[in-house]
Structure 1
């Protein structure tokens, strides 16, 4: 069936709300989003997403401009809502102890030990202001419900708002907060578990269970995420009541992504079939392929978020450039073994075959 027939057959409330042609959303990646991949998904009729974790206002505006230059289609920018649990201040002695725990990795890569920064993460208010100024078609949030004034201002500017839930209660909170669509993210998803009403360990609901419960509980469109990598997952998500899917790992493995070549190669290997939940690399629970950092680090050597994320972020880029997967974040979902394609267009085509 020609692609335009697939698109016509998959029109839904979600595609109408988001202004897209097919109900496929690119999962936003913190640190490995790329303009090329986001644009490719948008050009294919889906919603390309770009993760803004760590970006200041100037970087956000620059990225939005690059996305607009790369695609004339709608795209989404993604922000992390502060949960209130972030460690914003740390005694110098504690900081030094966490650095010592990571010292072997810095030495292995020939890097100097980092000094304590003025802050460990970007200013959320600045991020929101820049994102609204950038005016993407959609702004999506993880780790919470955006404040009412943010949702109102987004809507005033013609920006749609999406939120991410890992439980039915979170989905209801997001709907009450005025979002236009909710991503139901099952525990199979790669990367961070974005729970916010209960601890992540107490919110590990599988996609197959979560999606129909959320679809029954809310009146806004539901986007299924977690363990979806091919046409079968797409079809199953629709059968469960979702009006679209969000796919991360299968797109992360394409040549358009910003993942290092060694990372992409690993995603296409049998090793990607084994994933674990860990706090070792960021201080927050996340799903990825196990490596040496994950196997060697354990409490109390793991700093709280965002300190641990900042610290490992001082050596992870160097490790990625060197192809050293033992010292990288290798986020991946539980269906990575289903990955077959190396281009965003082929992943989209595979998913839409489930229509």
Structure 2
């Protein structure tokens, strides 16, 4: 009944719906629920240790027999710049004083490490059916080791040029990430945010440019969006924001309130939270310092100085300094179990495509 079965056949799942890997707000519980609903489970590994990844995969395997996608960042790591860090701390100093914090205190570095040999060994040990990357692909030798496990390789493209590069360099499936998508932009061949195309302009152009299956991502949160993606040539969809308010997510209560109250105008692309462009619901810091600030240190070092502020504000029930990554379809999220939501999304999409085929 799906017009394109390549993703279903490749991943061996009931539906071509991939859970967006959302670091910091989900774990094996949400992944398991989506798999039980017939979707493709994802586990974000960019902010956890190899041991934690092993633990999460073991939990998933014990609860459900289904494929799993392990997601990693593969950015080029850069050392912290003390001079730029000092400027950033000075910019944040009023917030530190407001919360009774010392802006000069020692802080643990932000923990967003790129895919490396240690995590490659985890992949070789656990043999996930799918491995996805953000910000391009890892170095060739590491990618060869991942491919040798039999994993299907996914990576995000935000432009046609990036999609072609990914196919030429070993990706089996391209995620076409439109500007509407929540979280970090997967851009790696450009730094120009202004040129980022939207999902429904990007998807058909990527489909025309590559031979591998294409997964549409960004602004898709219901059956209409899924049907539209397939009409434009996508073989599947990746959905994250729609699952944020599910009971299985780890979104904190104050953030859930913000997500529930969000509208189509609530999200912005910002660099002040981590140092790299990402879309999220605007918080106090984004409004007052950004959303784009030249003072923000390079990724992920901007997040380091925000750590104490985030913790202090959250103790007061505030999300002034908390990442609220979400896409432009945030108001379409549902407060319902993730398995039920997955089946509802698939059912609505199939009904819509059936209606269109009969018209």
Is the pair's TM-score, using the shorter chain for normalization, greater than 0.5? Answer: yes
Q: In the alignment, does 2:349 pair up with 1:354?
A: yes
Q: What is the CA–CA distance in structure 1 between the aligned matches of 2:262 and 2:89, rounded to whole Å?
A: 33
Q: What is the CA–CA distance in structure 2 between the aligned matches of 1:200 and 1:343, rounded to whole Å?
A: 38
Q: What is the CA–CA distance in structure 1 between the aligned matches of 2:179 and 2:73, rounded to whole Å?
A: 18
**Deviations 1:264-290 (CA, angstroms, capped at 9, x unpaired):** 222222446421111111111111111
Q: Could you tell me which residue of structure 2 aligns to residue 246 of structure 1?
A: 238
Displacement of 1:41 in angstroms is 0.7
Structure 2: state its 5+ residue gaps.
351-359
Displacement of 1:33 in angstroms is 2.2
Q: What is the CA–CA distance in structure 2 between the aligned matches of 1:132 and 1:105, rounded to whole Å?
A: 44
Displacement of 1:228 in angstroms is 0.2
**Deviations 1:136-189 (CA, angstroms, capped at 9, x unpaired):** 111100101233333332232121111110011111111112222111000000
1:193 to 185, 196, 201: 185
Aligned residues of 1:200 and 1:285 also touching (Cα < 8 A): no
Displacement of 1:317 in angstroms is 4.6
Aligned residues of 2:219 and 2:328 also touching (Cα < 8 A): yes
Q: In the alignment, does 2:28 pair up with 1:38?
A: no
Q: Secondary structure at the match of 1:354?
A: helix
1:183–1:70 CA distance, 2 compared to 1 (3 A): same
Q: Secondary structure at the match of 1:145?
A: coil
Q: Could you tell me which residue of structure 2 aligns to residue 127 of structure 1?
A: 119
Q: Could you tell me which residue of structure 2 aligns to residue 90 of structure 1?
A: 81
2:324 to 327, 330, 335: 330
Matches within 5 A, 1:3-152: 9=2, 12-82=5-75, 84=76, 86-91=77-82, 93-109=83-99, 113=103, 114-115=105-106, 117=108, 121-122=112-113, 124-125=115-116, 126-152=118-144
Displacement of 1:238 in angstroms is 0.5
Aligned residues of 2:203 and 2:232 also touching (Cα < 8 A): yes
1:349–1:121 CA distance, 2 compared to 1 (3 A): closer
Aligned residues of 2:72 and 2:114 also touching (Cα < 8 A): no
Aligned residues of 2:158 and 2:197 also touching (Cα < 8 A): yes
Displacement of 1:255 in angstroms is 1.2
Structure 1: state its 5+ residue gaps.
1-7
Matches within 5 A, 1:210-221: 210-221=202-213
Q: What is the CA–CA distance in structure 1 between the aligned matches of 2:196 and 2:312, rounded to whole Å?
A: 32
Aligned residues of 1:227 and 1:233 also touching (Cα < 8 A): yes
Q: How many residues align?
A: 345
Displacement of 1:339 in angstroms is 2.3
Q: Secondary structure at the match of 2:154?
A: strand
Q: What is the CA–CA distance in structure 1 between the aligned matches of 2:28 and 2:283, rounded to whole Å?
A: 28
Q: Could you tell me which residue of structure 1 aligns to residue 356 of structure 2?
A: none
Aligned residues of 1:275 and 1:332 also touching (Cα < 8 A): yes
Q: Secondary structure at the match of 1:68?
A: helix
Q: What is the CA–CA distance in structure 2 between the aligned matches of 1:235 and 1:201, rounded to whole Å?
A: 27
Q: Could you tell me which residue of structure 1 aligns to residue 354 of structure 2?
A: none
Displacement of 1:135 in angstroms is 1.8
Q: What is the CA–CA distance in structure 1 between the aligned matches of 2:51 and 2:172, rounded to whole Å?
A: 27
Q: What is the CA–CA distance in structure 1 between the aligned matches of 2:96 and 2:86, rounded to whole Å?
A: 14
